[in-house]
Amino acid sequence: MQFTIDALAFYQALSRVKIRCQRYPYLLLRAREGQLTLLTVSTAAAAAAAATPRMQASFSLAPSALLEEGDCVVHYRQLKHSAKSLPGTLTIVQQEHAVVVTSEGPLTRQIPVAMQAMELFPQKLFEIPEEHACLTTKRTVRRQCEACQRWHNVEVEDTYQVMQVLRQQVSINRDLLASMCQQVRWVAKPEPEREHPELTGILVTLKNDVFSLIAADGHCLVIRTETLVGAGSWSQEAASDATSLQRALRLLPEGAELFLESVSTQQQLLQKDHEMGGQSSESLVVPHLVRLSTPAMQIMVNALRSEQVLPSNMNLDHIW
């Protein structure tokens, strides 16, 4: 990989994908088809799966010249420091063990930037399974042992087949969405002393051109609606972590028109606990991600289930 780019434009692009909480220290740098794409992810807390991203941000721009295409994973802070320290036009070349950033001027200066193996970069959570793919999920059940007559925790596996990938989107102004999010997210703050600390999400619905954000804490229900003419209706609601959604909106430029997209899959049970399901009618809709996108930028955050937003004694039928 080799390209040239203005130092200031490159520094500003790196700032656009600066995830401020639990950012993975490396960045995916992709140079293809005349475009340069910068991609960062955040990782889950230590108590969760070690390398599971919770947010992914990417920004695309055109370099001054793309001399050789390629992909590499580089240290984010080192790369940003080099773009800030070196003036003028930068030449960035991928070598065997590092990326070398060079500035041409009265004096030639070079800064090496550390690289990481591509397979170590955590981005698989946001890969959407294809239709007809089979997926296995594990769960723990209590069972009585026939030999000792005691109850034990046993891990079992269920197999589902993806029947359909469901994609829904709506066009909305970034500032309007940020204002609506701010007006409801206070009720979904992750505070351990709350009666329902697990309710940390915002539910997104679209029905008959009425776009709604909904949040609850077990005692208080907050609904913010806005009419979007011609937006139509969604067949499924979407949900995202309130804090992640607000952080994602902060990365997007003020005043921008964006698409908010929900991606989920409809899955059919094939095998439950190693027993064939046959023609079982058991199916479920599994949420995968919520995506915010402009022509140059995309941000994806983990989708939540509705029970992570609304308490068990409340559902959408009660709301509407």
204 and 263 in a single domain? The answer is yes
Cα–Cα distances in angstroms (integers) from residue 19 to residues 57, 137, 175, 301, in the given order: 8, 30, 19, 12
275 and 162 in a single domain? The answer is yes
pLDDT of the residue at 197? 55
Total tally of structural domains belonging to the chain: 2
23 and 139 in a single domain? The answer is no
Cα–Cα distances in angstroms (integers) from residue 145 to residues 150, 273, 275, in the given order: 5, 16, 19
Give 146-162 pLDDT, tens digit per residue: 888 889 898 888 888 99
| 8 Å CB contact between 67 and 89 | no
**Single residue among 84, 108, 125 that ends a domain in this structure:** 125
Handedness of CA 193, 195, 201, 207 (dihedral sign): negative
**For residue 88, what are the domain limits?**
2-125
How far apart CA 277 and CA 267 sit, in angstroms, is 13
pLDDT of the residue at 167? 95
pLDDT of the residue at 310? 77
179 and 309 in a single domain? The answer is yes
What stretches in the chain show pLDDT beneath 70?
44-53, 107, 125, 189-198, 218, 274-281, 312-320
Give 162-211 pLDDT, tens digit per residue: 999 999 999 999 999 999 999 998 877 665 555 555 677 899 999 999 99
151 and 278 in a single domain? The answer is yes
**Single residue among 62, 93, 125 that ends a domain in this structure:** 125
**Single residue among 64, 91, 125 that ends a domain in this structure:** 125
pLDDT of the residue at 5? 96
Handedness of CA 37, 129, 213, 22 (dihedral sign): negative
pLDDT of the residue at 128? 87
Q: What is the pTM of this model?
A: 0.85
Rg value, the chain, Cα: 23
pLDDT of the residue at 46? 44
Give the CATH number of the domain where residue 201 resides. 3.10.150.10
SS (H, E, C) the chain: CEEEEEHHHHHHHHHHCCCCCCECCEEEEEEECCEEEEEEEEECCCCCCCCCEEEEEEEEECCCEEEECEEEEEEHHHHHHHHHHCCCEEEEEECCCEEEEEECCCCCEEEEEEEECHHHCCCHHHCCCCCCCEEEEEEEEEEECCCCCCEEEEEEEEEEEEEEEEEEEEEEEHHHHHHHHHHHHHHHCCCCCCCCCCCCEEEEEEECCEEEEEEECCCCEEEEEEECCCCCCCCCCEEEEHHHHHHHHHHCCCCCEEEEEEEEEEEEEEEECCEECCCCCCEEEEEEEEEEECCCEEEEEEECCHHHCCCCCCCHHHHC
205 and 61 in a single domain? The answer is no
pLDDT of the residue at 104? 79
pLDDT of the residue at 243? 87
140 and 95 in a single domain? The answer is no
284 and 202 in a single domain? The answer is yes
281 and 173 in a single domain? The answer is yes
pLDDT of the residue at 51? 38
How far apart CA 189 and CA 178 sit, in angstroms, is 16
pLDDT of the residue at 8? 95
185 and 55 in a single domain? The answer is no
218 and 302 in a single domain? The answer is yes
57 and 166 in a single domain? The answer is no
pLDDT of the residue at 154? 87
How far apart CA 220 and CA 40 sit, in angstroms, is 35
Cα–Cα distances in angstroms (integers) from residue 142 to residues 137, 139, 154, 172, in the given order: 17, 10, 6, 47
